Amino acid sequence: MRKHFLLIYHYAPDYIERRAEFRPMHLALAAKASDAGDLILGGALTDPFDTGLLLFHSIDKSTADAFAQADPYVINGLVERYEVRHWITVAGPLAAEPV
Protein backbone atom coordinates (compact mmCIF):
# COMPACT_ATOMS: atom_id res chain seq x y z
CA MET A 1 0.00 0.00 0.00
CA ARG A 2 1.38 3.40 -0.98
CA LYS A 3 1.62 6.01 1.75
CA HIS A 4 2.56 9.66 1.97
CA PHE A 5 6.04 10.73 2.99
CA LEU A 6 7.29 14.28 3.49
CA LEU A 7 10.86 15.04 2.48
CA ILE A 8 11.83 18.04 4.60
CA TYR A 9 14.80 20.12 3.51
CA HIS A 10 16.56 22.48 5.91
CA TYR A 11 18.30 25.00 3.69
CA ALA A 12 21.78 26.40 4.19
CA PRO A 13 21.96 30.15 4.99
CA ASP A 14 23.25 30.91 1.46
CA TYR A 15 20.58 28.83 -0.31
CA ILE A 16 18.93 31.77 -2.09
CA GLU A 17 22.25 33.12 -3.41
CA ARG A 18 23.39 29.70 -4.72
CA ARG A 19 20.24 27.99 -5.98
CA ALA A 20 20.18 29.43 -9.54
CA GLU A 21 23.14 27.28 -10.59
CA PHE A 22 21.51 24.03 -9.46
CA ARG A 23 17.80 24.79 -9.93
CA PRO A 24 17.43 23.39 -13.50
CA MET A 25 18.93 20.04 -12.42
CA HIS A 26 16.82 20.00 -9.24
CA LEU A 27 13.64 20.71 -11.22
CA ALA A 28 14.51 18.03 -13.81
CA LEU A 29 14.87 15.49 -11.01
CA ALA A 30 11.54 16.62 -9.57
CA ALA A 31 9.84 16.34 -12.97
CA LYS A 32 11.15 12.79 -13.37
CA ALA A 33 9.83 11.80 -9.92
CA SER A 34 6.51 13.48 -10.68
CA ASP A 35 6.19 11.72 -14.05
CA ALA A 36 6.82 8.41 -12.26
CA GLY A 37 3.93 9.17 -9.90
CA ASP A 38 6.16 9.38 -6.83
CA LEU A 39 6.32 13.13 -6.25
CA ILE A 40 2.95 14.77 -5.65
CA LEU A 41 3.96 18.30 -4.62
CA GLY A 42 7.16 20.18 -3.91
CA GLY A 43 8.08 23.70 -2.92
CA ALA A 44 9.59 26.04 -0.34
CA LEU A 45 8.28 27.66 2.81
CA THR A 46 8.80 31.41 3.06
CA ASP A 47 9.06 33.99 5.82
CA PRO A 48 11.68 32.75 6.52
CA PHE A 49 12.86 31.04 3.35
CA ASP A 50 14.58 28.19 5.19
CA THR A 51 12.67 24.96 4.51
CA GLY A 52 11.56 22.93 1.52
CA LEU A 53 8.78 20.33 1.54
CA LEU A 54 8.26 17.56 -0.99
CA LEU A 55 5.31 15.18 -0.76
CA PHE A 56 5.96 11.65 -1.99
CA HIS A 57 3.47 8.81 -2.53
CA SER A 58 5.29 5.49 -2.25
CA ILE A 59 5.50 2.13 -0.51
CA ASP A 60 8.18 3.27 1.92
CA LYS A 61 10.54 6.15 2.63
CA SER A 62 13.30 4.84 0.36
CA THR A 63 11.86 6.71 -2.65
CA ALA A 64 12.15 10.07 -0.87
CA ASP A 65 15.59 9.16 0.51
CA ALA A 66 16.84 8.24 -2.98
CA PHE A 67 15.50 11.51 -4.37
CA ALA A 68 17.35 13.52 -1.72
CA GLN A 69 20.60 11.62 -2.23
CA ALA A 70 20.45 12.37 -5.98
CA ASP A 71 19.34 16.00 -5.61
CA PRO A 72 21.93 18.63 -6.62
CA TYR A 73 20.69 20.82 -3.76
CA VAL A 74 21.74 18.15 -1.25
CA ILE A 75 24.90 17.09 -3.09
CA ASN A 76 26.16 20.69 -3.33
CA GLY A 77 25.36 21.74 0.23
CA LEU A 78 22.34 23.97 -0.38
CA VAL A 79 20.48 21.66 1.99
CA GLU A 80 22.20 21.42 5.38
CA ARG A 81 20.15 18.41 6.40
CA TYR A 82 16.99 16.61 5.45
CA GLU A 83 14.56 14.20 7.00
CA VAL A 84 11.85 11.92 5.68
CA ARG A 85 8.68 11.58 7.73
CA HIS A 86 5.69 9.31 7.18
CA TRP A 87 2.59 11.54 7.01
CA ILE A 88 -0.64 9.72 7.78
CA THR A 89 -3.13 11.55 5.55
CA VAL A 90 -6.71 10.70 6.50
CA ALA A 91 -8.86 13.52 5.10
CA GLY A 92 -9.33 14.99 1.66
CA PRO A 93 -9.52 13.56 -1.85
CA LEU A 94 -5.82 12.61 -1.98
CA ALA A 95 -5.66 10.99 1.48
CA ALA A 96 -3.50 7.87 1.36
CA GLU A 97 -5.09 6.32 4.46
CA PRO A 98 -8.66 7.69 4.57
CA VAL A 99 -10.86 7.00 7.57
**Predicted local confidence at residue 84, as pLDDT:** 98
Q: Provide mean pLDDT across the span 36-40.
A: 98
**Does residue 83 fall inside a structural domain?**
yes
CATH number of the domain where residue 79 is located:
3.30.70.1060
Angle at 93 between CA 89 and CA 50, to 5 degrees: 50
% of the chain surpassing 70 pLDDT? 100
**Does residue 95 fall inside a structural domain?**
no
Name residues whose C-beta falls within 8 Å of residue 62's C-beta, 6 or more positions apart in sequence. none
**Predicted local confidence at residue 29, as pLDDT:** 98
Q: Provide the pLDDT confidence category of residue 36 given band limits of 50, 70 and 90.
A: very high
Q: Provide mean pLDDT across the span 17-38.
A: 98
% of the chain surpassing 90 pLDDT? 99
Q: Indicate the number of domains in the chain.
A: 1
